[in-house]
A and B are shown apart, each in its own frame.
Chain A
Amino acid sequence: MTLLAFVILLTAVTVGYVINLRAARAIRDGGTRMHSLESFHGGYAALMTLVPTFFLIIIWMLFQGTVIELIVKSGISDQLEGLGTGETQLVMAEIRSIAGGRIFGTPEQWKLDAAERLVALRGLSGWLLVAVTAALATTMLYVSRRTVSSEFRARQGVERIVHVLMAGCATVAIFVTIGIVASLLFETFRFFQMVPFWDFLLGTNWEPQIPIREDQVAAEGAFGMLPVFLGTLVIAFVAMVIATPIGLLSAIYLHEFASNRIRGVVKPVLEVLAGVPTVVYGFFAILVIAPAIRSFGTDLGLPIASNTALAAGSVMGIMLIPFISSFADDALGAVPRSLRDGSLAVGATQAETMLKVLFPAAIPGIVGGILLAISRAIGETMIVVMAAGLIAKMTINPLDSVTTVTVQIVTLLIGDTAFDSPKTLAAFALGMVLFLMTLCINILALRIVRKYREIYD
């Protein structure tokens, strides 16, 4: 039925376009000068039909389930009386599955009746949708056909509608972000009802093993985020120490010194590097880097953990090289050529020009890129899940095994989880910490970029 509604919609849109186009053409051929081109008259009809009808169908689809269930429920209110929310939901689920043809055991007659009613209502709703769609589309077709005249400003009309649509698209992202933050906040708030805020923020002990069931034997959990946070910082630091110089130098080389042939080979390779799935980087860390570091350590007589922060961090650094290098390349490319010429014309070498003119002028973009890379390093999950440790340790030694915020979120949410235990809710608190960290870094990045812009432009 929904499909049919969409077919009607599409047909109406096409018909509206053609009718108005023809009507406008007829007026023009009659010798009158039109304000708008004929195609705008057509487009106006198409949009006037499309937008309201489309939203009607979407809203209908969103709410028809809820409305139908409310009607069914009110029909069996006698039987539901005295039941709690959970039990009511169970009954409704059973009715739904009966309606879907999956009958278990022998349900009571009233349930069967309700299911039958549900099926009937669904069918009715489908036909009603088709009817309403057709009616609305026809009305809009009529309304827009009436507007066709030589003075009607169809172009402005089309522009206004498209304007509103674009503004809508722009706000979708904002509202989704607000929604995500709100849900995160809500769960975090629940967590802090169970675990004191300061214990979480300043605790140096992270042991989220708590009993999930009443009768389970387990230690009393400790939720101090500092060691986890520190582990994230250590790994991100290692990653940036590797990614920043290599990324910047490769960008400078490719932008200023490499011949066209070398650039033609190296740039695509770097871009391929950017497209490697992080899982593959994880394999690389486990199979190549970690054993290499450990055997190197044993040769030196150092005790080195098998999943060191160094291994995870350096592979993450490799992942970030193309990221930083492409940002730096863009920033250098945005420096006007006239500055380069001006420097070369006073007899500066290419290296001096790069070091003293191009690089300083590109710094805002480069710093912005580096900070975004830090955000990514902090939020990166897959590599550390595979290559970093699980035990939280208060250490800044990159040769030790540390864990990160993202790793802990994953382990907390894997397996048998109850959404009312601090163990699970701790994941949301950690997520909130992660979100706030990257938010601060991004704000800082924006501020730095803006500050340097003021000086340089």
Chain B
Amino acid sequence: MTMFDVTKPETAVDQTDIKIAASNVQVFYGDTQAIKDVDVDIQDKTVTAFIGPSGCGKSTFLRCLNRMNDTIDSCRVEGRILLDEQDIYAPQVDPVQLRAKVGMVFQKPNPFPKSIYDNVAYGPKIHGMARTKGELDEVVEKSLRRAALWEEVKDRLDTPGTGLSGGQQQRLCIARAVATRPEVLLMDEPCSALDPIATAQVEELIDELKQRFSVVIVTHSMQQAARVSQKTAFFHLGNLVEYDDTNTIFTNPQDPRTESYITGRIG
């Protein structure tokens, strides 16, 4: 099998706009450099996977995209990251507004100690997205439906979100993230704390979410990257080694380091 005769059905939809354009990004924690010279263009309505061994900087880079790194005192970001051609690190950009546009789901489900309803309504309430209770109810229902959780929780919206199972909690967090109507959804190893069945549900959900959002997912599991993503970026020691269509990365990697990683020799 050569690189020319591989069929790539996903690349048929490849001609979409570029949602996020990162160029020359460097991240420092104090004096140590965690990310070196990363250039990535992330496409709209696509699932992009970041893979790589632990500590390679993939989560750090993900957290640059919604400026979550700002909350860490010692962290410094250099370079340019454009969201819809607007520099997100420009001084006039409010990180709070940015994070409403670029939602995030974390490694461990982190529902607030509030009711299921309040968890989902949290973002819309803060951003004044619903004027009446009826509108808010609608937003909550829509978000829960998008997160494929509505049918399971519709009769117990006022029970604590922390009482759900792990997989349900993670889908609740996804519902919370999509409730602010983001354009990009960042997922930091969203399935690493879930069992295989819950993982399958979340992966199915990611596939649906890409209809509306640009999804960026960090994952440890190469199988997961292969299953859910159309584009894959391989990080190693803070460098972006290779970035291409998922199929290409997994069947015909250009860089020897990528090949070593996906065949299990490093990592």
Distance, CA A388 to CA B160, complexed state (A): 48
Q: Are B113 and A352 in contact, with the CB atoms below 8 A? A: no
Q: Tell me whether B3 is interfacial, beta carbon within 8 Å.
A: no
Q: Would you give the shortest CB distance from B181 to chain A, in whole angstroms?
A: 11
Partner of B112, one of A343, A349, A457: A343
Q: Are A347 and B113 in contact, with the CB atoms below 8 A? A: no
List A contacts of B96 (CB < 8 A).
Answer: 347-349
Q: Are B68 and A347 in contact, with the CB atoms below 8 A? A: no
Q: Are B68 and A346 in contact, with the CB atoms below 8 A? A: no
List B contacts of A338 (CB < 8 A).
Answer: 106, 108, 110
Q: Are A342 and B173 in contact, with the CB atoms below 8 A? A: yes
Distance, CA A341 to CA B173, complexed state (A): 12
- Known contacts A342-B106, A361-B113; is-contact A347 B177 (Cβ 8 Å): no
| Complex: chain B residue closest to A338, CB-CB | B110
Distance, CA A261 to CA B74, complexed state (A): 14
| Complex: chain A residue closest to B113, CB-CB | A456
Q: What are 27 sample pairs from A and B whose C-beta atoms fall under 8 A apart?
A: A338-B108, A339-B110, A340-B71, A341-B71, A341-B104, A343-B112, A344-B68, A345-B66, A345-B68, A345-B104, A345-B106, A345-B177, A346-B126, A346-B176, A346-B179, A346-B180, A347-B98, A347-B100, A347-B123, A347-B180, A352-B126, A356-B122, A357-B112, A361-B112, A455-B113, A455-B160, A456-B162
- Known contacts A346-B103, A346-B126, A346-B180; is-contact A260 B73 (Cβ 8 Å): yes
Q: Tell me whether A336 is interfacial, beta carbon within 8 Å.
A: yes
**Nearest 3 pairs of A and B residues by beta carbon:** A347-B100, A346-B123, A338-B110
As a 0/1 sequence over residues 367 to 405 of chain A, the CB contacts with chain B under 8 angstroms (1 = contact) are 000000000000000000000000000000000000000
Q: Are A347 and B127 in contact, with the CB atoms below 8 A? A: yes
The number of residues on chain A lying at the interface, defined by a beta carbon within 8 Å of a beta carbon of chain B, is 22
Q: Tell me whether A303 is interfacial, beta carbon within 8 Å.
A: no
Distance, CA A170 to CA B267, complexed state (A): 49
Partner of A341, one of B73, B110, B160, B176: B110
List A contacts of B104 (CB < 8 A).
Answer: 341, 345
Q: Would you give the shortest CB distance from A188 to chain B, in whole angstroms?
A: 44
List B contacts of A339 (CB < 8 A).
Answer: 110, 112-113
List B contacts of A340 (CB < 8 A).
Answer: 71
Q: Are A341 and B106 in contact, with the CB atoms below 8 A? A: yes
Main secondary structure, interface of A, reads helix
List B contacts of A342 (CB < 8 A).
Answer: 106, 110-112, 173, 176
List A contacts of B98 (CB < 8 A).
Answer: 347
Q: Are B100 and A346 in contact, with the CB atoms below 8 A? A: yes
- Known contacts A346-B103, A347-B99; is-contact A360 B113 (Cβ 8 Å): yes
Q: Are B110 and A336 in contact, with the CB atoms below 8 A? A: yes
Which residues of B approach A to under 8 Å, CB–CB?
Answer: 66, 68, 71, 73, 96-101, 103-104, 106, 108, 110-114, 122-123, 126-127, 160, 162, 173, 176-177, 179-180
Distance, CA A456 to CA B99, complexed state (A): 26
Distance, CA A457 to CA B163, complexed state (A): 8
Q: Are A345 and B99 in contact, with the CB atoms below 8 A? A: yes
List A contacts of B114 (CB < 8 A).
Answer: 360
Number of A-B contacts (CB under 8 A): 72
A248-290 contacts to B, CB under 8 A, are: 260
Counting chain A CB atoms within 10 Å of each CB, the highest count among B100, B101, B112 belongs to: B112
List A contacts of B113 (CB < 8 A).
Answer: 339, 360-361, 455-457
List B contacts of A352 (CB < 8 A).
Answer: 126
Q: Would you give the shortest CB distance from B192 to chain A, in whole angstroms?
A: 13
Q: A342-B176, A347-B99 are in contact. List 9 more A-B contacts (CB 8 A).
A: A339-B110, A341-B110, A342-B112, A346-B126, A347-B96, A347-B97, A347-B123, A348-B96, A360-B113
Q: Would you give the shortest CB distance from A370 to chain B, in whole angstroms?
A: 20
List A contacts of B176 (CB < 8 A).
Answer: 342, 346
Counting chain B CB atoms within 10 Å of each CB, the highest count among A345, A349, A356 belongs to: A345
Distance, CA A410 to CA B106, complexed state (A): 59
Distance, CA A361 to CA B122, complexed state (A): 15
Distance, CA A364 to CA B100, complexed state (A): 30
- Known contacts A338-B110, A356-B122, A360-B113; is-contact A344 B180 (Cβ 8 Å): no
Partner of A343, one of B73, B103, B122, B179: B122
Distance, CA A342 to CA B107, complexed state (A): 11
Distance, CA A320 to CA B107, complexed state (A): 40
Q: Would you give the shortest CB distance from A138 to chain B, in whole angstroms?
A: 61
Q: Are B100 and A457 in contact, with the CB atoms below 8 A? A: no
Q: Would you give the shortest CB distance from A160 to chain B, in whole angstroms?
A: 40
Partner of A344, one of B71, B162, B177, B179: B71
Q: Would you give the shortest CB distance from B114 to chain A, in whole angstroms?
A: 8
Q: Would you give the shortest CB distance from B97 to chain A, in whole angstroms?
A: 7
As a 0/1 sequence over residues 325 to 346 of chain A, the CB contacts with chain B under 8 angstroms (1 = contact) are 0000000000010111111111
List B contacts of A341 (CB < 8 A).
Answer: 68, 71, 104, 106, 110
As a 0/1 sequence over residues 416 to 457 of chain A, the CB contacts with chain B under 8 angstroms (1 = contact) are 000000000000000000000000000000000000000111
Q: Would you give the shortest CB distance from B8 to chain A, in whole angstroms?
A: 33
- Known contacts A338-B106, A341-B106; is-contact A346 B162 (Cβ 8 Å): no
| Complex: chain B residue closest to A361, CB-CB | B113
| Complex: chain A residue closest to B107, CB-CB | A338
Q: Would you give the shortest CB distance from B152 to chain A, in whole angstroms?
A: 21
Counting chain A CB atoms within 10 Å of each CB, the highest count among B98, B108, B114 belongs to: B114
| Complex: chain B residue closest to A360, CB-CB | B113
Distance, CA A304 to CA B99, complexed state (A): 57
Distance, CA A118 to CA B190, complexed state (A): 83
List A contacts of B111 (CB < 8 A).
Answer: 342
List A contacts of B108 (CB < 8 A).
Answer: 338
- Known contacts A455-B160, A457-B162; is-contact A346 B177 (Cβ 8 Å): yes
Distance, CA A356 to CA B96, complexed state (A): 16
- Known contacts A341-B68, A456-B162; is-contact A346 B122 (Cβ 8 Å): yes
Q: Are A347 and B126 in contact, with the CB atoms below 8 A? A: yes
Distance, CA A349 to CA B100, complexed state (A): 11
Partner of B126, one of A348, A360, A456: A348
Distance, CA A207 to CA B187, complexed state (A): 73
Q: Would you give the shortest CB distance from B35 to chain A, in whole angstroms?
A: 19
Distance, CA A258 to CA B266, complexed state (A): 43
List A contacts of B97 (CB < 8 A).
Answer: 347
Q: Are A344 and B106 in contact, with the CB atoms below 8 A? A: no
List B contacts of A360 (CB < 8 A).
Answer: 113-114
